[in-house]
Amino acid sequence: MTLRVGVISLRLFSVAITSLLVGAGIGFFHGEIISRRWERPAQIAFAEGASSIGALVALVLGPVLYYGLFRRRVSVEEIAIVVSCTAVIGALASITGSEVLIPLLNIGVMIGASFTIMALRKSEANR
């Protein structure tokens, strides 16, 4: 019993830390794109803030999507698709420079990509 609780805790911790790091990276990446024309100190400060926001959002959404929606039945490739869609579409939107829109768009893209993967899995299972 104790071993099982330890393994479950370790898995949850692993997913949470991975989500946190990926979210921080995506947030920093988008923050740098948005603030690319600003003075360097302001650019760094904004990117650090965007990194913190990305980390916190991913810390919450990552485990919720992985354990709640995916129920641990996804491959590494499918997780990479969700992360890639979020990073690329968010980067393209970051070019517009909208500091408020980007986090909301990233959350929407992440959830949308996750639901799309689950819909594709269901359609493949019904074949």
Residue with tokens 């992985």: 66
Q: For residue range 13-56, what is the model confidence (pLDDT) as tens digits?
A: 888 999 999 999 989 988 888 888 889 888 889 899 989 999 99
Q: For residue range 101-125, what is the model confidence (pLDDT) as tens digits?
A: 888 888 888 888 888 888 888 887 7
24 versus 98: which is more confidently predicted? Answer: 24
What range defines the domain where residue 103 resides? 2-125
Question: Per the structure, how many domains does the chain have?
Answer: 1
